[in-house]
Structure 1
Amino acid sequence: MPTLTIIMGPTFSGKTTLLKNILTNNKDFQQLITNTTRPKRANEKNGIDYYFVSNQQYTADKQNDIAVAPRTYHVQSGDYWHYYINANRLKELKHNTLMITDLQGYYDTFDYLKAHPEIKIKLQGFILSTNLMTIFKRVVSSDRNDENPRETLRRLYDDEFNVFNFNDLDIQKLKDKYNVQIKSPREILNTLTEDNING
């Protein structure tokens, strides 16, 4: 049975870097590419970073129950950006797979798989524990030229104080009920390598 490993964490916590590192150094994994309606950044490629789709495509996929774990963000520019997993990609999963989403996206994926037991996938999640000083340094030195600083700070504030602000009971519930652990990038790399070695 393939494992879908979802990486989560605050903005600029290193999710994409970790995912690329795992894919480069471990051929046992492939990436599940999600869909988004947000504009493509200069260094991004369609089908590699995201599948960039129109708002009309998103609406059609949602109406046809193809949009799993849809997430909508109202950004500083006033636009709405939609992110989601194409259900057909989950159904076709044959290999250990990695993807990035937020915590609510993980919960929605968990619920979707529970409601569709015919899809045989083991789900696990990791939340990156990256300290705030490291995140701020990354924000300041970012090469995301099209990144709006206000939008970055809004997302960072929301992530740190609303989404990833856990107490001990939350952490235990994440682990026991949802199979989610909070770890450093190095710990995640080690865990995934050990899991693959041990079968």
Structure 2
Amino acid sequence: MQSGNSSKAVKMKLQRKPGLAVVISSPSGTGKTTICRALIDRNRDYEFSVSATSRKRRGLEKNGIDYWFLSREKFLDNKKRGHYIETTNYLGEFYGTPKRPLEKAIENGRVMLLDIDIRGGLSIKKAVPQSVAIFILPPSFAELKKRLKKRETDSPEAQKRRLEEAWNELAKWNHYDYAVVNDNLEKAILEVEMIIEAERKKTCRLDKSKFWPKSLIIPLGLNKKSR
């Protein structure tokens, strides 16, 4: 398999449901996973999308919690069966976002956090109408370089590849809806949380039937899309 990166997405049919898919992306070492975990601890109606991957486990990673660790053959079979909303080839390994858990979260009015790379994040943004994309920025590239060099599980060659990839990813931050600088973890968590809650309050996500009788929805124009 080639070592280049690519991403493919399947357009979701769900439209204007009360839930929200929140894409959170950043280069490795910027803290997006820590932010996602903190948000779930603080909010009962948030859940974490567990991606599937063909790569091997690192350190204390657990199957079904950090990732679904699959063989390359099983991953490709799932992809063929349409089990993923998007798939990405990142540094020679496959990653995919399971489709059904995301659909269920949106249907049930919950927030699904998706901790995925830039290519996957942009694919989700296009494929899922009820989504918002947030990019986590490091305080500086020098600080990011320092953090990546502290990763004991990466070989020098892997560190070099991550730095090159991080540089390319940082160039795409403006394709996202929002950007948050993680120079203070608690502040970054709060800012991301505020963005999510503001998005949930948009009139286009409001279930109007909870507030108005059906007989008034059409006469008052409540059936129309809000901008």
Give the TM-score, by structure 2 length. 0.69
Following the alignment from structure 1 to structure 2, what is the Cα–Cα distance between the partners of residues 89 and 28?
14
Q: Do the aligned partners of 1:38 and 1:52 also contact (CA within 8 Å) in 2?
A: yes
Change (3 A) 1:153 1:138: same
Larger radius of gyration: 2
Q: TM-score, normalised by structure 1?
A: 0.77
Aligned length: 175
The 8 Å contact of residues 88 and 96 in structure 2, kept in 1 or not, is answered as yes
**Distance (Å, rounded) in 2 between the aligned partners of 1:132 and 1:71:** 24
**Any idea what the Cα deviations from partners look like across 1:140-189, whole Å, max 9, x if unmatched?**
333xx4322321221221221x23215xxx83xx35xxxx2111243452
Select 1:124's aligned residue among 124, 129, 132.
Answer: 132
Match of 1:103 among 118, 121, 128: 118
1:10–1:106: structure 2 CA closer, same or farther, 3 Å change rule? same
122, 146, 159: which is aligned to 1:152? 159
User: CA offset at residue 87 of structure 1?
Assistant: 1.4
| 2:41 matches 1:24 | yes
Contact 1:58 1:67 in 2 (8 A): no
Q: Tell me, which stretches of 5 or more residues in structure 2 are unaligned?
A: 1-17, 202-227
Unaligned runs of 5+ in 1: 75-79, 115-121
Runs of 4+ in 1 over 4 A off after TM superposition: none
CA-atom RMSD in angstroms = 2.3
Name 2:101's counterpart in structure 1.
Answer: 89
> In 2 relative to 1, CA 194–183 (structure 1 residues): closer, same or farther, beyond 3 Å?
closer
- 1:1-199 aligned within 5 A: 1-74=18-91, 80-93=92-105, 94=108, 95-114=110-129, 122-130=130-138, 131-142=140-151, 145-160=152-167, 162-166=168-172, 171=174, 174=175, 180-185=177-182, 186-187=187-188, 189-193=190-194, 195-196=196-197, 199=201
- How far did 1:43 drift? 1.1
Q: Secondary structure at the match of 1:147?
A: coil
**Structure 1 residue 128 displacement after superposition:** 0.9
| Partner of residue 14, structure 2 | none
Query: Is the contact made by 2:85 and 2:124 (CA closer than 8 Å) also made in structure 1?
Result: yes
Q: Amino acid of the residue matched to residue 66 of structure 2? A: D
Match of 1:118 in 2: none
- Distance change >3 Å, CA 83–CA 191, structure 1 → 2: closer
